[in-house]
Amino acid sequence: MKFEDNLKRLEALVTKMESGELSLDDMIKSFEEGRRLVKTCQDDLASIRQRIEKVTQSGATEPLEV
């Protein structure tokens, strides 16, 4: 999935969890999925930051793959 898709899914999970309408089991499943999405988004951002630093230092560009 793309970063934007993961972020949208994470936002949807937070909204569902904040609604108070989930069972405890569904809340735990949503929390676990959310944690995985947070990790994926953080990894993607770290990769993007490295690419930006590389471009800034060298002036070269490469295709962005996220």
List, for residues 10-43, the tens digit of each pLDDT value: 999 999 999 999 999 999 999 999 999 999 999 9
Q: What is the dihedral of CA 13, 15, 21, 24, to 10 degrees?
A: 40
pLDDT-derived band at 56, boundaries 50, 70, 90: confident
Is 64 among the domain residues? no
Whether 8 has a pLDDT exceeding 90, the answer reads yes
Residue in the structure block whose two tokens are 């962005």 = 64
Per-residue confidence (pLDDT) for residue 65, from 0 to 100: 67
Number of domains the chain contains: 1
Domain limits at 16? 3-58
Is 44 among the domain residues? yes
Is 51 among the domain residues? yes
Whether 58 has a pLDDT exceeding 90, the answer reads no
Is 13 among the domain residues? yes
